[in-house]
Structure 1
Amino acid sequence: MTIGLGQLVDWGVFARARTELGGAFVRILGYFREDGVKSVTAIEQAMRDRSAAGLVLPAHTLKGESRQFGALPLSCLAEEIEMEARRCVEARQKPDDLIERIAELRPLFEATLRLFDQETQAPAPAASRVAPGGFGRRAAPTFGTAQR
């Protein structure tokens, strides 16, 4: 699978998550990193163990968390792994056909994290901060404040 770096993240989804999460964004993105490392490691270990059942939950987790931040190719790959692993569980088969897809997972995850890091190192777009009433002017009184 060849994906250009510009296609790894839907920056509109990323920006929306950043806005909605506000001050908690960086902390939650850190959770994504930690959980993602655990999920990718668990998926790789389950593949080494040839355990289809062991693939399902970490792939499901990675799918949802990736989608939340706009990492759509990562989310789609995790979903593909999850769905094939579920099929294997139901058919009582080993997930041998997933080895190539799982080999793509860690490099895709790491490339996505690098883009997230680059984006979060840049200053967040500042909201326009105009003093109430404008520069050098007294703010108009608001409800519940005493007037002088």
Structure 2
Amino acid sequence: MSFEGSTLIDWVAFTKARTELGAGFVRILGYFREDGVKSVAAIDAAMRAGSAAQMIIPAHTLKGEARQFGAEPLADLAEAIEEIARDCVETRDTPDDALLHVARLRPLFNDTLALLEREANPLAERRPAGGFGRRV
């Protein structure tokens, strides 16, 4: 997968978070990884159990943490799952409408996390967007 020109991350928000978090950035990104893995697993388990109520908190958590790093598509997907789950709790219904969203969640989380970690790696080679002989 090529990350050049990726729309998975809002790079302005990512850079802002990196600047604001300073030396703690990598540690906070590690928390995002840990929490995200747990949230995705919890959402999967809740979907299999047909429990909308059990989806709400992990979807809400994933949404907020994803937005912090500029991972807007992931945050939007988690928000959609959260909204469906909240509606289902109110109507006392099963979260069947969330199935397609939940199916997309893990691959999107993995792709997003890989991109964030690649950019956060202090050993990653950084090249200017244009490079020698190329226009930006």
Please give the TM-score of this superposition, normalised by the length of structure 2.
Answer: 0.85
Q: Give the corresponding residue for 2:110.
A: 110
Distance 1:76 1:5, change over 3 A: farther
- Give 3-state SS (helix, strand or coil) of 2:6's partner: helix
What is the identity percentage for the equivalent residue pairs of Structure 1 and Structure 2?
Answer: 61
Determine the structure 1 residue equivalent to 2:51.
51
RMSD of aligned C-alpha atoms?
A: 1.5
Q: Are 1:119 and 2:82 matched, yes or no?
A: no
Cα deviations by residue, 1:59-118 (Å, 9 ceiling, x for unpaired): 000000000000000000000000010000000000011111100000000000110121
Q: Which protein shows a greater Rg? A: 1
Which residue identity does 1:36 align to in structure 2? G
**TM-score by structure 1 length?**
0.79
**Pair 1:38 & 2:38 matched:** yes
Partner of 2:98: 98
Gaps of 5+ in 2: 125-136
Counterparts of 2:70 and 2:56, CA distance in 1? 21
Q: 1:30 to 1:51 in 2, by over 3 A?
A: same
Q: Where does residue 130 of structure 2 map in the other structure? A: none
Which residue of structure 1 aligns with residue 65 of structure 2? 65
Displacement of 1:123 in angstroms is 5.3
SS at match of 1:7: coil
Cα distance between partner residues in 2 of 1:117 and 1:75:
17
- What is the CA-CA distance between 1:122 and the residue it aligns to? 4.6
Output the amino acid matched with 2:83: M
* Amino acid paired to 1:97: D
Count of residues in correspondence between the two structures: 121
Cα distance per residue 1:1-42 (max 9 Å; x no partner): xxx971000011000000000000000000000000000000
